Amino acid sequence: MKKSFLILIISLFIQGYSQEITHIEPPFWWANMHDTQLQILCYGKNIADYDVQVSKGKILHIRKTENPNYLFILMDIKGLDAGTFDILFLKNNKISHKEVYRLKKRSKNARYRKSFDASDVIYLLMPDRFSNGNPNNDSQVQMVEKANRQFDGGRHGGDIQGIINHLDYLEDLGITALWSTPLLEDNEPIYSYHTYAQSNYYKIDPRYGKNEDYKHLADALHQRNMKLIMDYVTNHWGSKYWMIQDLPTKDWIHYWDNGENGFQRSNYRMTTQFDPNASDSDAKACMDGWFDRSMPDMNLANPLLLKYMTQNAIWWIEYAGLDGLRVDTYSYNDKKAISVWTKAIMDEYPHFNIMGEVWMHNQAQIAYWQKDSPVGAIESYNSYLPTVMDFTLHDAMIRMFNEDEMGWDKGMIRAYDNFSNDFLYANPMNLLVFAGNHDTTRINEYLQGSFEKYKLALTLILTTRGIPQLYYADEIGMRGNKEKNGDGDLRKDFPGGWASDKQNAFKKDGRSPLQNKYFNFSRKLLQWRKHQPLIHSGKLLQFVPVNNMYVYFRMNDTHAIMVIINNSNKAQLVDWKRFKEGIRNAKTGKDIISNKQIDLSKDYKLAGKTAMIIELK
């Protein structure tokens, strides 16, 4: 009786001094991580007035900032097993509040997870525009923007369940990895569907679903031996983020005193990051300028923020079982800080892969940002970023297939010249190759709706070196022109993703004859590529194009695959003798596109605007 009474008195005493804590982040963590230092952010009214103790582990440092509503607790949790410990908040040596913090058990082999690589084909989709699997979450009371499918810049209702509903479609197509544009909460009043102005880094946007739904998506992919890549944004947050509304420190963001509410737009000149002749003011305007008014530019040089962002990325990898990250606007970040962020993740997961968006139009400038870059080494810079995006190949592709005649710098020489600069890259196999994405006019628009040209473009993307990425609905011939009609035109809804759609292109009998031609060709190449290790890792050997016909090989010491792309309108003889270096002793081969057997001792005339992929024997 006395013991129960004492517990009641202590409980009432603690409640009497209770401190409301509205945020603790990360909300939980894992035992036995490689990095044993855990930073816990605590937020509540005047929480800095309190002292802190923990029941387990060791406090290394408690950081109080100029904002009294924050406490940052840096702990060493080495040796702690999965379970809980108490965080005690004290005033005048008396306990005011207790938070129970949980360390979870890691999944088996979590540290050594296999990430995406050149054996994969990545499918990029925008979840709001792919499929609406749960109409009940289209609009949410706590979210400002409501669903409006009639507005091409509004939210249309696509969600995580919609993606899960169509994983069979992606598996049948031959996709092995899924990259969705961001799914975290974005509470901007307009254009929130793209979700790049995030307002909560620990919460899936409720219009897409719940955190548990995202984990379910990863699990469903893994059951199909497919991978999930998260689109991650380090450079900027959304203006409606709760921390932006009450900054921990003024330098949490790049605040411009001469701007409106700290805003000054970036000059977007990424070359200033490495230009030895650049002015300091221009470099600062790029790196510290805001991407847009609704996207405050984050100061990763702030060590508290850097640790926060590092732990958040690791939290999602561990929680959802992610297989990779794609980092938005990578080269706009503080370059030293982003390299620390990237290395910390790679140290935690040695076999992980991260691809960064470096939207530049020069191979040397793109190569600068890749891990162990010989270009970056000139100034002793290493980003530790394994994969960069081959935007120069995209630049070539949107032009060369419309150039029927080859000039000194036109036609298929554009492809040859692109790959001739591979010496600039530390690892050309870790380049993302693509014909389009969510920010570019669709490839089928550039190709003027020509199915024959699409076959040439897809053949190149799926057989050259690097990691290929497709953009959703390109495989059914979808078109969209950003320059003429804006972003909404290249982000149209996938037909059949909504119950009210008159057409369902997810099904063979729901596609038009032309859409089925696109799909069937795409599926054939994708399913073939999935089982071709030569395409995944073989050396690239290329020959200078002649008469707009480009020939290259993927090969190892004993086997080879020959690719021929005749971009001319005219039929041309293939000079087998010229390509002896790649053909070697092969006498015959099979063209996997036409299923024809090819006799390499006989003349062969390849029709115009036609490609061949020959498995040499």
pLDDT in tens, 371-414: 999 999 999 999 999 999 999 999 999 999 999 999 999 999 99
Asked if residue 54 is part of any domain, the answer here is yes
What is the C-alpha to C-alpha distance for residues 422 and 466, in angstroms, rounded to an integer? 11
CATH number at residue 594: 2.60.40.1180
pLDDT of residue 13: 42
Average pLDDT of span 501-528: 98
Give the mean pLDDT of 29-36. 98
Last residue of a domain, one of 379, 411, 428: 428
pLDDT single digits (tens) 244-291: 999 999 999 999 988 788 899 999 999 999 999 999 999 999 999 999
pTM of the entire predicted model:
0.95
Say which residue the tokens 């390499």 belong to: 600
Phi/psi class of residue 609: alpha, beta or left (left: φ > 0; alpha: ψ in -120 to 50)? left
Is residue 110 predicted with pLDDT exceeding 60?
A: yes
Report whether 235 contacts 291 (CB < 8 A): yes
Q: Quick check: helix, strand or coil at residue 181?
A: coil
Q: Give, as one character, the DSSP assignment of residue 609.
A: T
Give the pLDDT score at 19.
60
- Read off the pLDDT band of 14 (50, 70, 90): very low
Domain assignment of residue 517, yes or no:
no
Residue 254 lies in a domain: no
Q: Return the active site residues.
A: 328, 357
Nearest to 241 by CA among 304, 288, 195: 195
273-to-329, 342, 518 alpha-carbon distances in Å: 13, 17, 41
Tokens (6 digits) for 466 = 């690097």
pLDDT band at 20; cut points 50, 70, 90? confident
In this prediction, residues 305-326 reach a mean pLDDT of 98
Q: What is the number of structural domains in the chain? A: 3
Domain-embedded: residue 421: yes
Is 548 domain-assigned?
A: yes
Among 104, 133, 150, residue at a domain's last position: 104
Phi, psi of 498 (to 5 degrees): -125, 140
Q: Is the dihedral of CA 509, 514, 515, 517 positive or negative?
A: positive
* Domain membership flag for residue 348: no
Q: Which of 43, 48, 52 has its CA nearest to residue 24?
A: 43
Of the pLDDT bands very low, low, confident and very high (cuts 50, 70, 90), residue 5 is very low
pLDDT tens digits, one per residue of 442-484: 999 999 999 999 999 999 999 999 999 999 999 999 999 999 9
Nearest CA-CA partner of 425 in 470, 475, 482, 358: 358
Q: Write the single-letter amino acid at 233.
A: V
How many whole angstroms separate alpha carbon 592 and alpha carbon 595? 5
pLDDT tens digit sequence for 179-190:
999 999 999 999
Last residue of a domain, one of 77, 104, 131: 104
pLDDT at 9 over 80: no
Domain-embedded: residue 39: yes
User: Which of 572-578's residues contact partners 24+ apart within 8 Å by CB, and which partners?
Assistant: 572/547, 572/605, 572/606, 572/608, 573/603, 573/604, 573/605, 573/606, 574/549, 574/603, 574/604, 574/605, 574/606, 576/600, 576/601, 576/604, 578/543
- Which pLDDT does position 1 carry in this prediction? 43
User: Token pair of 231, please?
Assistant: 């689109």
Mean pLDDT computed over 12-23: 60
CB 505 within 8 A of CB 494: yes
Tens of pLDDT, residues 119-173: 999 999 999 999 999 999 999 999 999 999 999 999 999 999 999 999 999 999 9
**Token pair 């937020």: residue:** 43
Once rounded to an integer, what is the mean pLDDT over residues 36-60?
97
Distance CA 467, CA 463 (A): 10
Q: Hey, how many other C-beta atoms are within 10 angstroms of the C-beta on 420? A: 12
Dist. CA 513–CA 347, nearest whole Å: 50
- Looking only at the bridges linking them, the beta strands covering 184-185 and 58-63 are unpaired
Enter the tokens of residue 91.
Answer: 């005033």
Residue 258 is predicted with a pLDDT of 85
Is the residue at 593 inside a domain? yes
**CB–CB of 315/344 below 8 Å?**
no
Is the pLDDT assigned to residue 586 strictly greater than 80? yes
* pLDDT for residue 456: 98
Task: For residue 546, give its domain range.
Answer: 539-616
The CATH number linked to 35 is 2.60.40.10
Q: What percent of the chain has pLDDT over 70?
A: 97
